[in-house]
Amino acid sequence: MAGEEDLLKKWIEESNNIVFFGGAGVSTESGIPDFRGEKGIFKAVNDYGVRPEVILSHSFFKVNKDVFFDYYKKNLVCLDAKPNKAHIALAKLEEEGKVKAVITQNIDNLHQKAGSKNVLELHGTLYKNYCIKCGQQYDMEYVMNGPIVTKCEKCGGVVRPDVVLYEESLDTDVLEKAVYYIQNADVLIVGGTSLAVYPAAGLINYYRGNKLVLINKSETGYDSRADLIIRENIGEVLGKIRN
C-alpha cells in the first residue's frame, strides 16, 4: 500500500488544484454512524419498523413528524463528534492553497469545524434549521432544546433541518458549483463513499483529468475508471500526508 500512498502524496505535492469529494466514511471515523450501513438499517427497522431511507423521506416527514424528529434527533445529531485526521488534513491542504473545494454528502459540519472554508454540502446541514411556514431560521441549540417536533416561535410552524430528504432535489446552486470544481480539477480525491447514492455520485462523471483517486475500504462502481485506488481508511491515508 505504501506505493499507492507515495503516488498520492506526489500528486498532492505537485498540484494546486485539488478537489475532494467525500461521503459517510469520512465521518464514521469521528464516531458518527452511517445510517445507510448494515447496523444503521438494522437499528432503524428494529426501533421504528421501517428503513432509515423511508424515515428520512419527504413523504414520511409530511405525515409522521413525531417519528421523523425522534429518529433524526437520536440518530443523526452527534454534537460531541470532533473532526478526524481526514477533516484536519483537508483543511490544512486548503490553507496551503492546494485544495480548492471540499464537496461532501455529509450533514455534520465537521469539515467547517476542522477549518475548511469552501465546503459544498450536497445534502445540506443539520446545523441550519428553518420554519416550513414562514422561513424563520434557527440554530441547532434551539431545535435540540425544544420538544420532539420543534415549533417556530414567530408563527408556530414546524422547524425542520435544512437537509435534503429523500424525494427532494439537491440545491441547484450547490450542484452547479460542485460540477464547476470537479470539471476543472487537476486531482480529484474521492473518499469514504461507495458512490452508490445518486445524483451526488454522478458528479464524478464531470471529471476530465487523469488523477482520479478513490480511497475507500470497499469496492465502488467507479473503480474501473480510477487512476489510483487505496483500500484504507480515509483518515489514516490523509493523516500521513498532513498530520
Buried b (16+ CB within 10 A) or exposed e, 195-209: bebeebbebbeebeb
Cis check: omega of the bond before 33, within 30 degrees of 0:
no
Q: Which three three-digit cell numbers place residue 181?
A: 470544481
Longest dimension (CA), the chain: 60
Q: Is 98 helix (H, G, I), strand (E, B) or coil?
A: coil
Residue % of the chain over a pLDDT of 90: 78
N residues, the chain = 243
Concerning whether 87 is annotated as a catalytic residue, the answer is no
Residue among 58, 87, 111, 123 flagged as catalytic? 123
Instruction: Give the span between the Cα atoms of 18 and 20, in whole angstroms.
Output: 7
Q: Where are the domains of the chain?
A: 2-32+79-123+169-241, 33-77, 126-163
In this structure, whether the domain defined by 126-163 belongs to CATH 3.40.50.1220 is answered with: no
The answer to whether the beta carbons of residues 99 and 19 sit under 8 Å apart is yes
- pTM of the predicted protein model: 0.93
Distances (CA, A) of 94 to 100, 150, 163: 6, 37, 25
**pLDDT of 87-146, one tens digit each?**
999 999 999 999 999 999 999 999 999 999 999 999 999 999 999 999 999 999 999 999
- CATH number for 2-32+79-123+169-241 (one of 3.40.50.1220, 3.40.1710.10, 2.30.29.30, 3.40.1190.10): it is 3.40.50.1220
Domains 2-32+79-123+169-241 and 126-163 share a fold: no
Question: DSSP assignment of 99-160, as one string?
Answer: EEEEEES--S-HHHHHT-SSEEETTEEEEEEEETTT--EE-HHHHHTS-SS-B-TTT-PBEE
Q: Determine the pLDDT at residue 37.
A: 65
**pLDDT of 6-63, one tens digit each?**
999 999 999 999 999 999 899 999 988 776 666 668 778 888 999 999 999 999 999 9
